[in-house]
Amino acid sequence: MAVQFTTLDNDKRENSKMSIKFNREAYTKVFDDLDKFRDYCRFEGKVFNEADMYKKDSYVWQAYGKYQNYLRAKARNGGRNFKPRR
């Protein structure tokens, strides 16, 4: 995902160099996710480990995913408090 294409640029066939085209949007997404994950761990008192990011079997990443779903649902409902039906 990080390196999208690798091309060979020829300058007069004498000087050839490799150029790598980066997908800047992918980098931005990864680092934004890393910042959000770090802030979540800091405020919730969880152990922060960069290697746990995007690991589905990590309990910290699962808790972060549930927290993100909670925030998404809260925004979708407009922050309204619902009374449970009886």
**How many domains does one find in the chain?**
1
Q: What is the pLDDT of residue 16?
A: 55
Q: What is the pLDDT of residue 75?
A: 84
Judge whether 83 lies within some domain: no
Judge whether 49 lies within some domain: yes
Domain range holding 20?
3-76
Query: Residues with Cβ < 8 Å from 73, sequence gap 6 or more?
Result: none
Q: What is the pLDDT of residue 56?
A: 92
Residue 67 in this model has a pLDDT that exceeds 90: yes
